[in-house]
Amino acid sequence: MTQRNISCWVVSEGLAGTENQCLGIADALGVSPTVKRIKLRFPWKQLSPYLRCGHQWAFDSAGDSLAPPWPDLVLASGRKSIAAALHIKRQSNGKTLVVQVQDPRIPARLFDLVTVPQHDPTRGDNVIITTGALHRVTVAKLAEEAAKFPLLQELPARRAAVMIGGNSKAHRLTEENAAALAARLQELAEDYSLMITVSRRTPPACLDILQKTLADNPRVYFWDGSGANPYFAFLECADILLVTEDSVSMTSEAISTGKPVYTIPMEGGAARVNKFHHLLQTQGYTRILPQEGTLESWHYTPPQDTAAIAAKIQALLEERVNT
């Protein structure tokens, strides 16, 4: 079975972070998937993935429909997508290869393949362990995006990209944090051209503090969310990367570049996210941003998790054709 002939659905609940992990695998496979954004009814909405029966009644018509012909491959991610993944596996009589991305919190044997980051506990014969979150970052994509922002290439070297998130279930970006970060970045701007991006989760008051401190600095390129997003161009053009610790996805994308990655501490935390950062630090991918002084450079081999998973899926699909 060639990549061109693979029919593929990406099944999600519509969250960009989880959906992009599946799209990254599809990109690596060279397939153009159909994206299915599902919605669950009560009680499956509240009890997924633990309620594993009656899935034929679980799906709300407000979401995309799940009906034959069933695809060769399903890439599903997110808690609510598990009901859809199990439903498709059952309705297709096992002919659809079902891959669950992220820890499903139910036995991995219920799926054909499961991918989980190393900081999550699920293990099994059909489980692939990844360094962090999967993503769509590739060498070609970064070069393509950087070409759209020639101004970044004109910034004096060395260049540091600063990716700032915001409030999440586990972390908070306070005005005090923002003021301290702005002062630290102002100091770093003496040695680096800074390319700064914020997210939709960045509190407006914190954004205001950062802009008032940094936006008029000639060594700072500040993207505030208006116009084309230079995020991937930042990854390509930077010599060093700084990422707030709230985002597993941004940190995972950053270490895919092979460039030095500093994580910016925030208030709060959670056991899973703390373990993720601890593992990356001990494995030599990241370091914690020091409160003062210059930044160091170091080298590591970037993870190739998405490509490895795509190769495994291709092998499993070929096995099915040959049996």
User: Residue 19 to residues 64, 78, 176, 244: CA-CA distances in angstroms?
Assistant: 14, 8, 33, 22
pTM: 0.91
| Positive/negative CA dihedral, 15, 233, 215, 151 | negative
Tokens 């059952």 — which residue? 90
Give CATH 3.40.50.2000 domain extents, the chain: 139-288
Per-residue tokens: 209: 């503090």
Q: Which of 109, 89, 108, 87 is closest to 98 using CA atoms? A: 89
Residues 6+ apart with CB under 8 A from 147: none
Q: What is the pLDDT of residues 273-318, one digit of tens each?
A: 999 999 999 999 999 999 999 999 999 999 999 999 999 999 999 9
Mean pLDDT of the chain: 93
Neighbours of 246 (CB within 10 A): 28
Query: What's the pLDDT score for residue 2?
Result: 55
Whether residue 226 contacts residue 207, with contact meaning beta carbons closer than 8 Å, is answered with no
Per-residue tokens: 293: 């002084």
Question: For the domain 139-288, what is the CATH superfamily, name and number?
Answer: Glycogen Phosphorylase B; (3.40.50.2000)
Q: Which of 306, 300, 201, 297 is closest to 253 using CA atoms? A: 306
> SS3 for 149?
coil
Per-residue tokens: 135: 């993503």
Q: What is the distance between the alpha carbons of residues 9 and 21, in angstroms, rounded to a whole number?
A: 13
Quick one: fold of 3-131+305-322?
Rossmann fold (3.40.50)
Per-residue tokens: 266: 């925030």
Query: What's the pLDDT score for residue 231?
Result: 96
Give 3's pLDDT tier (boundaries 50, 70, 90). Answer: low
Q: Which of 233, 62, 5 is closest to 137 using CA atoms? A: 233
| H-state helical runs in 169-230 | 175-188, 204-214
Q: What is the pLDDT of residues 226-266, one digit of tens each?
A: 888 999 999 999 999 999 999 999 999 999 999 999 999 99
> SS3 for 181?
helix
Q: Which of 231, 265, 219 is closest to 246 using CA atoms? A: 265
